[in-house]
């Protein structure tokens, strides 16, 4: 069996320490800007250095996501930003498009590179293409089923790591532009006003709200239910994934800490004795106490399983 990694999002230094202390093997941070002093609103470069020191002292890793789609005039800032990340000893960068890949290979050629979910990696041919470009890990599209992952693993190099989401929000669509706030408020493209929330509602399903978030990186459409694969961990692990990811963007540090702790227990129990692993209902109950939204197995199973919110 592959060496399995449990990874979690962290929105700030406190969140990074929290998920590591609760069992995460790695942490990924959203790089919402190419600024020299900050990765995101609540994560400064100084915080990053402190977080990496904290992680490395515990034999853990820290990745930075470069999710912005760079325009021509962004590349100089991106080069400077990458040098700062390299200086901070980031373990890998997570990219989503080929232009940024070329810049990374030129500026910091020894940096480990992962290709993110926004690259829409649906099949083994695409995975092999990115591997040939020097990509160490591919983060596969959330629409894939377990059978698709098995096929991808059978038809790719064992040197290529495969990462898949195991719990958290399901981002259905992403735009590099702030679609709604710009259109509905008629603001200039350069302006951004925080704390504006939207929901997408299907006409025939009036009670199911799909949240829409906007930040400097653009507009993100999420499903009305959150992913939860705690009951089907063995199937997901045996499909060939090497990293299981907790999606914690837009959530509190208590959320990511709690979810990581539950999955750590379940994964360790599987590693200890895969043949005797049984699903513990208490794990699901713990997750339902943490997560206020309905849970689902998403696209992984041929017949999705949904879990109602525990009141």
Residue ranges per domain, the chain?
Answer: 5-168+226-307, 175-219
β 198-201/209-215 pair status: antiparallel
Q: Say how far apart CA 9 and CA 236 lie, in whole Å.
A: 20
What pLDDT score was predicted for residue 118?
Answer: 84
What pLDDT score was predicted for residue 149?
Answer: 98
What pLDDT score was predicted for residue 189?
Answer: 44
What pLDDT score was predicted for residue 201?
Answer: 62
Angle at 265 between CA 264 and CA 268, to 5 degrees: 80
Q: Are 106 and 83 in contact (CB under 8 A)?
A: no
Other C-beta atoms within 10 Å of 118: how many?
A: 18
Q: What is the pLDDT of residues 4-57, one digit of tens each?
A: 999 999 999 999 999 999 999 999 998 656 654 556 667 889 999 999 999 999
What pLDDT score was predicted for residue 188?
Answer: 46
Instruction: Indicate the pTM of the whole model.
Output: 0.84
Q: Are 246 and 167 in contact (CB under 8 A)?
A: yes
What residues of the chain score a pLDDT lower than 50? Answer: 1, 36, 183-193, 195, 311
Q: Say how far apart CA 223 and CA 233 lie, in whole Å.
A: 21
Strand order in the sheet with 218-222: 171-175, 218-222, 209-215, 198-201
What pLDDT score was predicted for residue 190?
Answer: 45
What pLDDT score was predicted for residue 71?
Answer: 76
Q: Say how far apart CA 221 and CA 173 lie, in whole Å.
A: 5
In CATH, the architecture of 5-168+226-307 is Alpha-Beta Barrel (3.20)
The 8-class DSSP code of residue 121 comes to -
Crossing angle of helices 253-272/281-290, nearest 10°?
A: 170
β 5-9/26-31 pair status: parallel
């Amino acid at each position: 069996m592959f060496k399995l990694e449990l990874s979690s999002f962290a929105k700030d230094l406190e969140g990074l320490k929290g998920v590591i202390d609760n069992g995460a093997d790695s942490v990924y941070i959203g790089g919402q800007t190419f600024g020299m002093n900050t990765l995101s609103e609540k994560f400064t470069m100084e915080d990053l250095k402190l977080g990496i020191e904290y992680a490395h002292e515990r034999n853990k890793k820290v990745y930075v996501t470069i999710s912005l789609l760079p325009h021509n005039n962004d590349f100089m800032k991106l080069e400077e930003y990458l040098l700062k990340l390299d200086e901070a000893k980031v373990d890998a960068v997570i990219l989503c498009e080929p232009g940024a890949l070329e810049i990374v290979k030129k500026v910091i050629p020894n940096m480990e590179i992962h290709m993110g979910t926004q690259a829409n990696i649906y099949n083994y041919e695409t995975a092999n293409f990115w591997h040939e470009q020097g990509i160490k890990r591919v983060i596969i599209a959330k629409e894939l089923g377990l059978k698709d992952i098995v096929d991808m693993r059978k038809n790719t190099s064992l040197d290529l790591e495969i990462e898949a989401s195991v719990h958290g929000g399901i981002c259905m669509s992403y735009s590099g532009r702030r679609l709604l706030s710009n259109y509905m408020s008629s603001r200039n493209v350069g302006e951004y006003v925080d704390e504006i929330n939207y929901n997408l509602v299907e006409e025939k399903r009036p009670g199911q709200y799909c949240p829409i978030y906007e930040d400097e990186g653009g507009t993100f459409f999420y499903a009305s239910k959150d992913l939860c694969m705690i009951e089907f961990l063995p199937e997901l692990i045996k499909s060939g994934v090497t990293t299981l990811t907790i999606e914690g963007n837009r959530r509190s540090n208590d959320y990511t800490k709690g979810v990581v702790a539950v999955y750590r227990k379940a994964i360790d129990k599987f590693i200890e004795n895969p043949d005797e692993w049984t699903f513990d209902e208490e794990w699901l109950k713990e997750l339902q106490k943490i997560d206020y939204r309905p849970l689902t197995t998403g696209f992984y199973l041929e017949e999705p399983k949904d879990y109602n919110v525990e009141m």
